[in-house]
Structures are given as structure tokens and as C-alpha cells.
Amino acid sequence: MVQKSVYKISSMRQETPDTVSFVLSGAAIEFLCGQFVMIHYPLELAGKHGASEKDLAEGKPVKRAYSIASSSVRGLKGEIELCVKAMPDGWISKLLQEVKLGQVLEVSGPFGRFTFDPLKDKDIVMLAAGSGIAPMHAMIEQICLGDHKDVKGHLIFSNKVESDIIYRKVFDKFACDNSNVKISNTLTRCADGSSWDGSEGRINFKMLSEICGDSLVSESKVFFICGPSVFVKSMRECLEELGVSKENVRFESYG
Ligand SMILES: Cc1cc2nc3c(=O)[nH]c(=O)nc-3n(C[C@H](O)[C@H](O)[C@H](O)COP(=O)(O)OP(=O)(O)OC[C@H]3O[C@@H](n4cnc5c(N)ncnc54)[C@H](O)[C@@H]3O)c2cc1C
């Protein structure tokens, strides 16, 4: 049986109009950045929407996977940060937009093989779209708070519009204070006349080459991809086209 632990919401922040981040405080937890936890949302709070008759009868909590968005440095202090984007017509992702300070949630984990180990992975490129930023935030925080100055981390973050960029200020500060961390934001829908000076359009072969320069393919460079399945698929194809070996590509698809 999966072991569950009880955590309390100790802080929360509205990151963008449809995304919140919140910190769960409780027992110290060991994990590798990139892993996820399961949130067991109580059925009595979730309401009937989406629950099967069987689950309703048994009163089973509703489970959803969320990547840990904070470093293992904070995990050891009993903190897990999550970053949840409300899905259109989604059930639990919408309820989690309205969590309250002090609310208790059951958590199990950590799970997953999408992992970053700063003692082995010394040169990483992170390709994220939307809420796929959560594990990348954990990795960058690990590099900075864990004082891994020998690890080079480059995040390429794709969003539709500027107001969708999650953790923007936090990332700018990490990059400003840590010369080994680089952030490149890209937008797929840039408004006419906007002052956006980053890359525009979907991330593709050409954009990746321009942003990363000619150092893109190297035996030691590891690529992490996270986001919706269409994004993950297209990034994997793009890296294959660029000649990146499969062993150097790790990915997590949010379905
Ligand atoms: C390993 C992993 C890590 C994840 N980490 C994160 C994270 O860090 N942050 C994050 O925001 N999300 C993350 N997710 C996604 C998360 O687990 C949920 O899937 C997401 O929050 C949506 O849950 P929901 O209950 O709101 O949506 P649901 O109610 O489950 O619906 C999801 C979508 O499916 C559609 N849908 C629902 N039922 C049907 C149906 N019968 N037919 C057709 N379409 C339907 C809905 O319209 C909605 O758009 C992760 C997923 C995985 C697998």
C-alpha cells in the first residue's frame, strides 16, 4: 500500500491568472529534482463532479500527480512546493487554485524517473511549456540553493503570451545572482506592437540552434523536456533531428 503523509499549506502565491504555487509543510522528504508526488484530494471537498459512482460510494480521495517544484534542499526542511495550472474544464486543478492557508492535504511519493542529479549532470538544457515548468524550477533552485556552481543550467520556456510566464521574477533573480544559470523565454503568440524582445514562435530546430549556439550537441549535455504531450513529442523529434543522442534526453509528459 502507498504510504501517505499529511502536509499543511503554509504559503501560496498567484503566479499567473490561471496558475498558483503553494508550499506544503510537514515531514522532511528526500527526493531527486524532477520527481512528482500524488495529491489525494478528499472527495467530500472535491464534490461529485467527475467522481465515479464507485468512488463516491467508497469515499476514496481523488488522486492527481504534481511535480515537485522546489529543490531537495527545501525537502529536507519539510517543504514541498507545487505549481498548479487550472486546466480548461479540469476538476482538481481548479479546486487547487483556491486552497487556503492551513488546509491539510494527503501526499504520497516521491515517484518518477525524470530526475536531475547535480553531482552527475553538469550541463543541462531544460525545455518547458506551461506548467511543465514545475520540475525545472526545482532543478534551477537546486543548482542555486545547493551551491552547484559547477553545473550549467539553461532554461528555454515556451508560453503563449507574456502574462502566462510562471515564476518569471524568481527566474530572473536566479539568473542575475548565478552566472551558471541562463533563462530564455519564448512566446508563441506575440501581440502586434508588443515590446517583447525574446524569441517568437514555437520552439523548433532553428530557434534551438539560435538560442543555444553551436554547443547544442555534446556528449555531456543532458536535455530535460516537460509539458503537454504534444510539446514533449515535438521537442524529442527536434532534438533527434539535431543529432542529440536518446541517452541524453529525459522527458516527462503531463498527458
Ligand atoms: C507526472 C505528472 C506530473 C504532473 N505535474 C503537474 C504540475 O506540476 N502542475 C500541473 O498543473 N499539472 C501537472 N500534471 C497534470 C495533473 O496531474 C492533472 O492531470 C491536471 O492538473 C488536470 O487535472 P484535473 O483534475 O483538473 O483535470 P481532469 O478533470 O482530470 O481533466 C483533465 C482534462 O481532461 C479533460 N477531460 C476530463 N474528462 C474528460 C473526458 N471524459 N473526455 C475528454 N476529456 C476529458 C478536461 O477537459 C481537462 O481539460 C502532472 C501530470 C503528471 C502525469
Query: Any idea what the CATH number is for the domain that residue 24 is in?
Result: 2.40.30.10
Mean pLDDT of 15-34: 97
**pLDDT of 196 strictly over 70:** yes
* Ligand 1 atom, smallest distance to 84 CA: 11
Identify whether residues 96 and 151 lie together within a single domain: no
Distance 132 CA to ligand 1 centre (A): 12
Distance CA 169, CA 180 (A): 17
Query: What's the mean pLDDT in 237-242?
Result: 91
Is the pLDDT at 162 greater than 90? The verdict is yes
What is the position in ligand 1's atom list of the atom closest to the CA of 94? Answer: 26
Distance 224 CA to ligand 1 centre (A): 21
Residues 52, 26 share a domain: yes
The C-alpha atoms of residue 209 and residue 8 are separated, in whole angstroms, by 44
Is the domain of 59 the same as that of 173? Answer: no
Q: Is the pLDDT of residue 190 over 90?
A: no
Question: In this predicted structure, what is the pLDDT of residue 211?
Answer: 84
Q: Please indicate, yes or no, whether residues 221 and 133 belong to a single structural domain of this protein.
A: yes
pLDDT of residue 3: 81
Greatest alpha-carbon pair distance for the chain in Å reads 59
Q: State the total domains in the chain.
A: 2
Instruction: Determine which residue's CA is closest to atom 15 belonging to ligand 1.
Output: 254
Here the CATH number for the domain that contains residue 172 is: 3.40.50.80
Mean pLDDT of the chain: 92
What is the Å distance from ligand 1's center to 90 Cα? 6
Q: Can you give the pLDDT at residue 25?
A: 98
Q: Confirm whether 171 is domain-assigned.
A: yes
Q: What pLDDT does residue 98 have?
A: 92
- What is the whole-number distance in angstroms between the Cα of residue 94 and the centre of ligand 1? 10
CB neighbour class for 133 (10 Å; exposed up to 12, middle 13-18, buried from 19)? buried
Q: Which residues line ligand 1 (CB under 6 A)?
A: 36, 50, 64-67, 83-85, 87-94, 131, 134, 252, 254-255
The alpha carbon of 29 and the centre of ligand 1 are apart by a number of angstroms equal to 25
Q: Is the pLDDT of residue 96 over 80?
A: yes
Least confident of 79-83, 91-95, 125-129: 91-95
Residue 89: enclosing H or E segment and its boundaries? none
Cα–Cα distance measured from residue 231 to residue 127, given in angstroms and rounded to the nearest whole number: 9
Q: What are phi and psi of 252, to 5 degrees?
A: -135, 125
Enter the DSSP assignment of 55.
H
Confidence of residue 218 (pLDDT cuts 50, 70, 90): confident
* Residue that terminates a domain, selected from 86, 111, 136: 111
- Which residue segment(s) compose the domain that 45 sits in? 4-111
pLDDT band of 117, cuts 50, 70, 90: very high
Ligand 1 atom closest to Cα of residue 252:
1
First to last CA, the chain: 25
Is residue 54 in some structural domain? yes
pLDDT mean over 84-113: 94
pLDDT score of 136: 98
Overall residue count recorded for the chain in this entry: 255
Q: Are residues 89 and 135 in the same domain?
A: no
Question: Are β-strands 104-111 and 4-16 bridged in parallel, bridged antiparallel, or unpaired?
Answer: antiparallel
Is 116 among the domain residues? no
Q: 11-28 in b/e burial notation, b at 16+ Cβ within 10 A?
A: ebeebbebbbbbbbebee
Q: Give 113: exposed, middle or buried? Use CB within 10 Å, 0-12, 13-18, 19+.
A: exposed
50 and 17: one domain? yes
For residue 214, the model assigns a pLDDT of 67
Name which residue sits closest to atom 32 of ligand 1, judged by CA. 90
List the grid coordinates of 26.
510537514
Percent of the chain topping pLDDT 90:
75
Question: Do residue 97 and residue 147 come from a single domain?
Answer: no
Q: Which atom of ligand 1 is nearest to the CA of 255?
A: 53
pTM: 0.93
